[in-house]
Every structure is written in C-alpha cells, then in structure tokens.
C-alpha cells in the first residue's frame, strides 16, 4: 500500500496494536516472501491494467454491459498471461481473482470444465487433434450435462447419442422438453463447442452416460449450426456476467471419433468396449469440486475482510454513557458474529489447500489406472465441497448483515460475494446430494471395519475408542477438542449405520432404508467433514511458531468451540461431554472473542486482498468508507440526469392526475 495514503486513524491504531506480524501469516498462506511478492506484483499489475480498459464498476452496469465487460477483461487477462509467460495454476488463479473479483465470466469453464474433463476423457489422438484448438480459443467450450429435467440423477439424463454404423456417426438428440440441456455456463452466447453428456446407444443397447465433443456454432460467423437451438437462460439470482445457456439438439450428426474414447469406446461396427471403471466418467466433477472448496473459501475471506475492517472504522452508539461512540467491533455481539466467520475463513482455506494437494497426489495414480484412492477422493471432495460452500455462503451473509444498512448496498461488495458463494451450494452437485455420497462412503467403511477389513487412515476414527467420556477441561487442550469431534463423527456414523440396519430388519429394502435415514446420514457426513476441517486447521497451526502460533491457536480454538456450542446436543446425547464440561464452553468462547479482538484487523490484513479484489467501499485498506460510498452513489446511473425521462413520462402525469382528481391547491413549482 502507498505509504502516503491517508488511513483512517482507527485502522492505524488497530494495526499498531496487533500482537503478531500479519506479514508472517501472509507468507505462510502464500508460500513464503518470494511467492507473496509475486502474488502482489501479479494482482496489482492486472488491477491497474483493468482500470486502463475503462470498464465501469460491476455494480453500476446492466447485465448486458457486465457480459460485454467480462469478455473485454478476459481478453486482457489472457493477453497478460501470455505476455508474462504464466502457466502455473496458482498464478492463473491469482490473476483471475484480481480481474474478476467475486464475479463470474463467460469463459469460466474453458479450463475448469471443458479442457480438464476433455483431457481426462479423451484418447491421445483426440487430445493431439483438439487440445491445441481449445488452448488457443479456436474452440470455446463448456460442460453440458444438466438438463431441464435432471441435474442430480445422472442416470436419468434423456439426451441420446445413438450410433449409426452405416455412416459411422453418432446422432445427438434431445427427445423431450425436459431433455433440453439447461444451465451450462457460457453456453448461451459464448461457447462454440461443448462436451455433451448423453446416453450412449449402440446395437440397440443403452450403455449409460458418456461424453461427446459437439460443435454448436460456426467457428467464423458464430451462428448456431443446423439442428442446434441454443441461447441464454435469462436473468438469475447472481452470476450475471455469465450466459448460462440452454441447448436443444435435433438429430445432430457427429463423427464417431467425437465420442471421448479414453476409457470406453465404440468400434466402427458399433461394438461397445467397456471402461475399467464406469466412475471415471465422473472424474471432471471431482476436479471441479476440489476447486469449488477454494472458490468458496476465498469468498468468505473477502467478506470477513470487508466486515471486520468496516466494523473497526464504523463508530455507533456508546457502551459507557457519555464516553463517546465506540467502534462497532467493540460490541461483544459483533465479535460473536464476525470472529467465528474469521475462524471459518482460515479453516476452509486450509481445507482447500489440503484437498487440492490430495487431488494432485491421487490423480496421477488414477491416470495410471490405480483406482484404490478414488472412493476416498470422491467422498472427501464431495463432503468438503458441500461443507465449505454452506459454511462460506452462510458466513458471507452473516458478514453482510453485520455491516448494517451499508451491507445492503452493492457498494459493500457483499451482495456480489453472497450470490456468487451460494451458487456453489448448487452447482457441481447439489449439496445434500453430494454429502449423501460422503455418507455412502462412511457406511461402506463401517461395513469394512465390521468385516475386519482395512480402511484408509483418515477413517481410523471409526474404530471403537476406549474412552467414552471426554478429558476436556478449562485449558481447552487441542487434542481433547479434536477428540470430541472424532467421537461425535464416529458415534453419529455408527448410529446412522445402526438405524439403516434396523430399517432393513423391519423389512425396508436398501433404497427405502437409505431414504428413511437420510437426515441422520447427512448429519453424520457433516460431522465427519467437520472433523476433517478441524484436523487440517489444527495441523496448519501446529507448524506455526511464536506469537503467530499463539494467535492462530486461539482462532482455531474459537472455530472448534463455536462448532461444538452450535451443535451441543450432538456432544451431550451419549454423555461424551458432561454438563460441567459444557458449562465451560460458552465462557471460553467469550474469552476467546476478547482475546482475538486486538488482532482481528491484522488477521484479515494477513489475507492480503488488494482493494481491487475486495471491490468494496466498506472494506478498503485505508478505511475511507464514507468518501467511497458517496463517490459510488454519485456514479449511480439514476444520477446521470437531474430530471429523468421517467419523471415526464410517468411520475408527473400520475401526480397531476392525483391533484386534479382531488381539486387540490394551485399548481406551483415551489413550496
């Protein structure tokens, strides 16, 4: 930040009072001083670059303008990446974040869900032929899986790809209105190709969902090709700059070789060759789910930065009558709302780092055909995607409400962050549907343990424990807190397995038993995922030292205690925690709020978001919030003219009709 920048004195004081060095925490988060320096260089470079493009602030323009600006900004981004020779995914993610702060953009799936699943599902020859076209944007694509009638239940997809051996082509067809592809990002106006997921039919047999590469628009005129009806689905709750689209295929013929044939194949005569494992078809979704953990967590980090900085600047009301107005961050209720979000922001950040690392470790094994770790990766990525998007969407909304009236203004940046984060609860697998996949894995592990089989190390918590009561005391030892989460997850998983068994004994079939116990199964899977998050956060903290370790341990404790307090029943029901132990928790929570108060601003500063990424009048580093808010309002489109045409067209005639009707006082232009 510029040393000469005029900074709000309350923020100056907050920064002087911190007990730790936020810079050290920033280094920890971004991989050291050099990488932090690079992060800052890259983000500041493109923030300045975007300013020069002359684009207007997101919140002040229409949907059509947002779309157009997003195309303009993306072209600039790719140009910059090429000029700088950037190829690694961290640098790319940082640049994206700075150019599209909490904003979607039409090409969002080009890599995440076009090139990546293509790479996983295509044969070597197919990759050689098409990847260069994709990487050079000759083909702009998306992932067209969801249909109007089916999103979660993929076996229910209706789009067909029927093989015609006489021409060696597949015929892609949308047989019903409910089979129209609906929602794919960038499909409406931007993509000229897509991966279509369709039921593969050959020799009269349906082999289930498979992936096909389909060109939908002419590569030069961009007009839809024959048999293709395609368009934008219309305005949504958010993600306005994205043209989520619909696609209807009317007996569209594509060459046999457009079926992605790495795992399964159709020979020229129509013979079907099976994949080693039909779950490999779902690989693309697993990859995005791990990314979504990161996306959601970054949104909460942004929201909490905005809300805590603003709460340090905002003065309202007195605590002691006559002693002057206080920073709203001094109210215990404000700390009680915001500090758990701060803790969750860090917890989900570490969860994101570890699931990405796990994905990177496991995917080469899967590539080689070793599928041993696939079930664990699926269970963990599905659970974390659900847990993190829920936690972060709820957390962003808490931050928004904690900013009072100004949190309701788009100028705060918080509505934009919220609509973006809550979308992640639905896309890439509706959260309940996904967390039930985690539960399915838990049930499987219970069965394996009962049969004396080995389970992965992370599932060891399911082994019967010797201790049925907790050792937790006023010191809140980390190990005791973690043990409480482990005990809860194990108990809830075993209870859910037992309930399933009881349902089956009562005569329910496995599907009915699953449904009758699904609320319990979801709770168990959430408990397991929370245990995982608590653990990875603790592991990160344990590598820290000195004052940083001290403050981060307190933040970790707040995360742990807050989560226990908010689902106390889970810990009390079998007597694992005694009422005496529970009585320690709420006072401890209040003490932690007090302890963290002096470090709160520095803890959000350490997240190191430049103002360009926060895009918020309230969260600015310099705390000059009122100037920024006023400036934002002056730029409102409604203020472009003093008297709007709408006044002459509707307001004045309406007012005249009213005063004439009631034969009111003489017409006057001034009171």
Ligand X SMILES: Cc1cc2nc3c(=O)[nH]c(=O)nc-3n(C[C@H](O)[C@H](O)[C@H](O)COP(=O)(O)OP(=O)(O)OC[C@H]3O[C@@H](n4cnc5c(N)ncnc54)[C@H](O)[C@@H]3O)c2cc1C
CA-to-CA dists, residue 588 to 18, 157, 487, 578, angstroms: 21, 51, 21, 16
Task: Annotate each residue in 394-413 with x if it binds ligand X (CB under 6 A) or - if it does not, as one string.
Answer: --------------------
Is 428 an active-site residue? yes
Q: Which residue is nearest to ligand X (CB)?
A: 151
Contact flag: residue 93 with ligand X (CB under 6 A): no
CB of 458 to ligand X, least distance (A): 25
| Element of type H or E holding 315 | strand 315-318
| Cβ nearer to ligand FFI, comparing 258 with 348 | 348
Question: Phi and psi dihedrals of 354, rounded to 5?
Answer: -75, -35
- Which residues have a Cβ under 8 Å from the Cβ of 372 and sit 6 or more positions away? 365
Burial of 92 (0-12, 13-18, 19+ CB in 10 A): middle
| Cβ nearer to ligand FFI, comparing 245 with 429 | 429
What the block records as the tokens of 614 is: 């926060």
| Cβ nearer to ligand FFI, comparing 195 with 628 | 195
| Element of type H or E holding 366 | helix 332-367
| Cβ nearer to ligand FFI, comparing 150 with 315 | 150
**Number of helical (H) and strand (E) elements in the chain, helices listed first:** 24, 13
- Bridging pattern class, strands 193-202 and 160-164: parallel
Q: What share of the chain is helix, strand, coil (3-state, %, to 5)?
A: 60, 10, 30
- Which residues have a Cβ under 8 Å from the Cβ of 299 and sit 6 or more positions away? 102, 392, 396, 417, 420, 421
Distance CA 271, CA 207 (A): 11
**Binding partner selected for residue 199 from ligand FFI, ligand X, none, CB under the kind-specific 5 to 8 Å limit:** none
Applying CB under 6 A, among 18, 55, 239, 403 the residue interacting with ligand X is: 239
- Give residues 133-152 in contact with ligand X (rule: CB under 6 A): 142-146, 150-152
Report the Cα 553 to chain-centroid distance in Å: 26
* Given 14, 147, 428, 530, the catalytic residue: 428
Helices 89-99 and 63-84, interaxial angle, to 10°? 150
Q: Strand, coil or helix: what is 161?
A: strand
**Binding partner selected for residue 432 from ligand X, ligand FFI, none, CB under the kind-specific 5 to 8 Å limit:** ligand X
What the block records as the tokens of 164 is: 């015609």
Contact flag: residue 185 with ligand X (CB under 6 A): yes
Distance CA 285, CA 545 (A): 38
CB of 298 to ligand X, least distance (A): 17
Contact flag: residue 525 with ligand X (CB under 6 A): no
**Binding partner selected for residue 437 from ligand FFI, ligand X, none, CB under the kind-specific 5 to 8 Å limit:** ligand FFI
Applying CB under 6 A, among 415, 429, 619, 623 the residue interacting with ligand X is: 429
| Cβ nearer to ligand FFI, comparing 154 with 458 | 154
Residues that bind ligand FFI (CB under 6 A): 90, 93-94, 97, 108, 112-113, 143, 145-146, 151-155, 185, 279, 282, 285-286, 288, 291-292, 294-295, 298, 374-375, 378, 427-429, 433, 437, 440, 444
Contact flag: residue 230 with ligand X (CB under 6 A): no
Distance CA 56, CA 72 (A): 12
What the block records as the tokens of 109 is: 């799936």
- List binding-site positions for FAD: 146
- List binding-site positions: 146
CB of 95 to ligand FFI, least distance (A): 10
**Binding partner selected for residue 99 from ligand FFI, ligand X, none, CB under the kind-specific 5 to 8 Å limit:** none
Task: Annotate each residue in 94-113 with x if it binds ligand X (CB under 6 A) or - if it does not, as one string.
Answer: ---------------x----
CB of 143 to ligand X, least distance (A): 5
Q: Which residues are catalytic?
A: 428
The footprint of ligand X (CB under 6 A) covers 109, 142-146, 150-152, 183-185, 239, 244, 423, 426-430, 432-433, 436
């Amino acid at each position: 930040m510029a040393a000469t920048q005029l900074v709000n004195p309350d923020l100056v004081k907050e920064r002087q009072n911190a007990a730790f060095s936020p810079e050290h925490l920033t280094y920890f988060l971004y991989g050291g001083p050099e990488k932090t320096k690079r992060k800052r260089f890259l983000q500041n470079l493109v923030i300045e670059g975007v300013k020069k493009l002359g684009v207007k602030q997101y919140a002040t323009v229409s949907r059509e303008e947002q779309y157009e600006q997003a195309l303009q900004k993306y072209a600039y981004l790719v140009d910059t990446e090429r000029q700088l020779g950037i190829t690694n995914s961290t640098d790319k993610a940082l640049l994206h974040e700075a150019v599209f702060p909490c904003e979607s953009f039409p090409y969002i799936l080009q890599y995440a869900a076009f090139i990546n699943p293509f790479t996983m599902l295509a044969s070597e020859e197919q990759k050689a032929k098409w990847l260069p076209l994709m990487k050079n944007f000759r083909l702009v694509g998306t992932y067209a899986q969801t249909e109007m009638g089916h999103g979660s239940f993929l076996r229910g997809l209706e789009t067909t790809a029927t093989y015609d051996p006489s021409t060696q082509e597949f015929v892609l067809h949308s047989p019903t209105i409910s089979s129209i592809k609906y929602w794919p990002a960038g499909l409406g106006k931007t993509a000229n190709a897509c991966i279509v997921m369709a039921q593969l039919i050959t020799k009269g047999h349906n082999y289930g969902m498979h992936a096909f590469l389909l060109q939908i628009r002419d590569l030069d005129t961009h007009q839809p090709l024959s048999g293709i009806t395609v368009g934008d689905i219309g305005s949504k709750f958010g993600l306005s700059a994205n043209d989520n689209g619909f696609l209807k295929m009317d007996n569209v013929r594509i060459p046999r070789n457009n079926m992605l044939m790495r795992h399964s194949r159709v020979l020229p005569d129509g013979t079907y060759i099976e994949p080693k494992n039909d779950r490999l078809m779902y690989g693309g979704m697993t990859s995005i789910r791990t990314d979504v953990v990161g996306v959601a967590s970054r949104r909460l980090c942004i929201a909490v930065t905005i809300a805590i900085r603003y709460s340090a600047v905002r003065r309202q009301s007195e605590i002691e009558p006559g002693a002057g107005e206080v920073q709203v961050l001094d109210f215990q209720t404000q700390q009680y709302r915001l500090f758990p979000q701060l803790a969750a922001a860090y917890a989900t950040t570490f969860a994101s780092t570890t699931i990405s690392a796990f994905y990177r470790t496991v995917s080469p094994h899967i590539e080689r055909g070793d599928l041993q770790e696939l079930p664990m990766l699926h269970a963990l990525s599905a659970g974390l995607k659900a847990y993190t998007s829920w936690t972060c969407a709820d957390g962003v909304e808490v931050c928004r409400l904690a900013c009072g009236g100004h949190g309701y203004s788009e100028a705060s940046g918080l509505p934009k962050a919220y609509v973006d984060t809550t979308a992640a609860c639905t896309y890439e697998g509706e959260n309940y549907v996904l967390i039930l996949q985690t539960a399915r894995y838990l049930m499987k592990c219970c069965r394996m343990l009962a049969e004396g089989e080995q389970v992965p190390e992370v599932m060891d918590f399911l082994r019967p424990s010797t201790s049925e009561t907790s050792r937790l005391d006023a010191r809140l030892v980390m190990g005791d807190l973690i043990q409480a989460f482990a005990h809860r997850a194990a108990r809830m998983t075993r209870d859910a397995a037992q309930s399933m068994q009881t349902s089956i004994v009562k005569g329910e079939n496995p599907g009915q038993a699953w449904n009758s116990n699904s609320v319990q199964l979801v709770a168990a899977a959430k408990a397991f995922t929370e245990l995982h998050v608590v653990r990875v956060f603790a592991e990160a903290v344990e590598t820290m030292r000195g004052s940083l370790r001290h403050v981060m341990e307190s933040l970790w404790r707040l995360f742990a205690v807050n989560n226990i307090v908010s689902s106390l029943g889970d810990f009390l029901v079998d007597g694992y925690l005694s009422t005496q132990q529970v009585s320690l928790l709420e006072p401890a929570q209040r003490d932690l709020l007090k302890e963290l108060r002096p470090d709160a601003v520095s803890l959000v500063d350490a997240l190191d978001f430049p103002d360009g990424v926060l895009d918020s009048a309230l969260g600015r580093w310099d705390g000059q919030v009122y100037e920024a808010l006023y400036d934002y309002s002056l730029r409102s489109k409604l203020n472009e003219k003093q008297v709007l045409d709408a006044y002459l067209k509707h307001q004045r005639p309406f007012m005249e009709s009213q005063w004439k009707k009631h034969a009111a006082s003489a017409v006057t232009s001034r009171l």
